[in-house]
């Protein structure tokens, strides 16, 4: 089987994966620093940032890998990501004092140029368009 044709990591998919990877690195770096240096100031916010980092890492890897299992994991993580952005975004908008410091998803990802809000929607559209073929092997 030709890997180039069976992978989602071509064209627009490659750009989407690159953005996910950059966001994974940014969220990981931010959360590690916050947890190591400032955890007592806003434990909930920093824990949510760490959770977001894990979600972005898993989403990135599952978008790169091919097969039905990776496709399902990508859907699950991106759906979780969208729910997180919407819930945390709404909570921080309604009650900004709820989180003493911003998370990746605060105010719908405002601190990251709203990319955390837009990215899962684009990811879902892209996943819907790149479903695994019936002859793809689950990995």
The residue ranges of every structural domain in the chain are 8-129
The DSSP 8-state label assigned to residue 95 in this structure reads -
Token pair for 9 = 């990591």
Token pair for 56 = 């972005």
pTM confidence score: 0.84
What's the count of helices (H) and strands (E) in the chain, helices before strands?
5, 0
Alpha helices, DSSP H only, in 39-136? 43-64, 68-94, 115-129
* Per-residue model confidence (pLDDT) at position 120: 97
* Per-residue model confidence (pLDDT) at position 136: 52
Residue 57 clears pLDDT 50, i.e. is over it = yes
* Per-residue model confidence (pLDDT) at position 134: 64
Predicted confidence band at 3 (pLDDT cuts at 50, 70, 90)? very low
């Amino acid at each position: 089987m030709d890997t180039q044709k069976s992978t989602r990591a071509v064209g627009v998919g490659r750009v989407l994966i690159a953005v996910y990877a950059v966001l994974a690195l940014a969220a990981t770096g931010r959360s590690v620093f916050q947890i190591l240096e400032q955890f007592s100031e806003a434990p909930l916010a920093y824990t949510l940032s760490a959770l977001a980092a894990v979600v972005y890492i898993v989403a990135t890897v599952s978008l790169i890998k091919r097969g039905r299992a990776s496709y399902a994991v990508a859907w699950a993580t991106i759906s979780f990501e969208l729910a997180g952005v919407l819930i945390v975004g709404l909570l921080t908008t309604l009650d900004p004092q709820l989180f003493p410091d911003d998370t990746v998803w605060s105010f719908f990802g405002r601190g990251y140029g709203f990319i955390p809000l837009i990215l899962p929607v684009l990811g879902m559209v892209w996943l819907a368009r790149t479903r695994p073929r019936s002859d793809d092997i689950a990995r």
